[in-house]
Amino acid sequence: MVVNPDTASERMLAMQQRTEIFPARRITVLLVDDQVAMIEAVRRMLSTERDVDFHFCRNPIQAIKMANQIAPTVILQDLVMPEVDGLTLVRYFRANQATRDVPLIVLSVKEEAHIKAEAFTLGANDYMVKFPDRLEVIARIRYHSQGYINFLERNEAYERLTAAMKQEQTRAKEFAALSEMSDALQNCVSEPDTYVVIASAYQKLCAPCSGCISLFRQDTGRMNVVTTWGDMEVSLLDFQQQDCRAICQEVFHPSASEQPNYSCLHLSQASDGSSCCIPVKTQGETLGVISLRCQESLQLNKFVGMKEAAIFRVADHYALTLTNLRLRERLKIEAIHDPLTGVYNRRYMEESLEREILRAERHQTNVGLIMLDIDHFKRFNDTYGHDLGDTILRELAKSVRANLRAEDIVCRYGGEEFIVIIPDIELRDLLIRANHLCEEVRTSVQILHNSQTLSITISLGVASFPEHGNSAQEALRAADQALYQAKKGGRDRAVAASTPMI
């Protein structure tokens, strides 16, 4: 017969996987008999069977207790014993939870049809007359044991499948709750709008738990409880950050009712139960803390551990949402454009650069920087006046914006210096873009002054994150040094920063 090697390999793999899930079970025999001769006879019969463990009990009163301890795969019991009738013992075995389904073979000195019938009626699986043949004993033990082992494995497989299905159902519910929360947070236009969304998310994920949200206020330097849900009790409506162990330790912090001195000071100690705090953080900055409390009987640590990923995902998502909302609010309050040139101001440049660098770190991309200023700008101001200088700045800004993509960010850095932030661009392409800007300004920017046409040139320094620095400051410094080299080299040119030595 020719065996397909692929089929054989698949079969071996399946057997290996099955062995990992269901470790090989040994056959465990329990003999209940008061006769020493019978015990020794069965022991000798099984002595050569390497996968069979043999146990015996001479006292039928102790048989149930012993069976509970050794978990036999088959029970052999005598029909006639002192103190307890054999058929009564069969009834006891079948009434006992641990031995209810274990195969049971009744041993008797004679063949009696009505006794056999009663034994089978009470739940016996087999009947043998003493002293049986060795091969017959081994065959029956193996047959019944293997059937029982298969029964146990089927039950275990069913339990595993049921647990897996419940876990998948839980994950599906968690995913739905997280998706719903994400959509709701995107529609929030202010921080108070987010409180209901986060409370609802935790109520769905941790239904038995109550909770509260506390956020850090810059004006007071304290944490402020902004909302609660369920029967959550707090001892302080506002508190110092050091009153919360989760903030101090910068990690998830659980506490149990049996350790009240270890609980956070801002949570009420009056009610029974266990609590935990989850920091709301982004980029090392603590924005707030989410506190949950459950009844002690629910074993909060175990309960939260099962849903840890979802619980922390809500906190992380909330941290990003708060950061975005606060940035949006700050940009509304502050002027983000330079009033003279119409491009973004330095404050917006700094915020945008930090944001683009964080995005680049997440997506493993680059951020390009071009720092430029006008050659001999002071000479224009001194010769033609500051009004003409302002006109030059406006025309330069217009030209630079016209020659960049819509997603590129042009900012006035200060005086005649400008910064261009170009996301997701390689250094080679960035330098090409800078040279194009240099040429466009030289040939296209022309200013009329008293019937005289004036033209300007610019010098540009080019740098890229993370190639020229691991932070915004380092990248800006590299671009500034490259700009200095462009000026030193004769102006009206673009120079790329040199790669730092490692």
The shares of helix, strand and coil residues in the chain, as percent rounded to the nearest 5, are 50, 20, 30
Place of tokens 């049986």: 132
DSSP codes joined into one string, 356-376: HHHHHHHHT--EEEEEEEETT
pTM (2 d.p.) = 0.43
Q: Where are the beta strands (DSSP E) in 271-366?
A: 274-282, 285-294
Domains of the chain: 5-154 (3.40.50.2300), 188-329 (3.30.450.40), 335-496 (3.30.70.270)
Report the pLDDT value the prediction gives residue 11, as an integer from 0 to 100: 57
pLDDT band at 377 (very low <50, low <70, confident <90, very high): very high
In this predicted model, what pLDDT tens digit does every residue of 6-26 receive, in sequence order?
Answer: 555 665 555 455 545 546 789
Please write the tens of the pLDDT for every residue from 416-443.
999 999 999 999 999 999 999 999 999 9
Say if CB 341 and CB 412 are below 8 A apart: yes
pLDDT score at 248: 77
What is the enclosing helix (H) or strand (E) of 11?
helix 5-21
pLDDT band per the 50, 70, 90 thresholds, residue 4:
low
Helix (H) or strand (E) holding 465: strand 458-465
Between 130 and 128, where is the model more confident? 128
Which segment, 170-174, 177-181, 296-300, 493-497, is predicted with the most confidence on average? 493-497
Residue 175 has what pLDDT? 83
Q: What is the pLDDT of residue 3?
A: 47
| Per-residue pLDDT tens digits for 301-344 | 666 667 778 888 889 999 999 999 988 887 776 678 898 998 99
Closest CA to 42 of 10, 19, 76, 71: 76
Identify any residues that bridge with 286 across adjacent strands, giving them in sequence order. 281
Percentage of the residues of the chain whose pLDDT score is greater than 90: 56
Q: Which residue has the tokens 């062995």?
A: 19
Distances (CA, A) of 458 to 145, 302, 304, 370: 90, 64, 60, 12
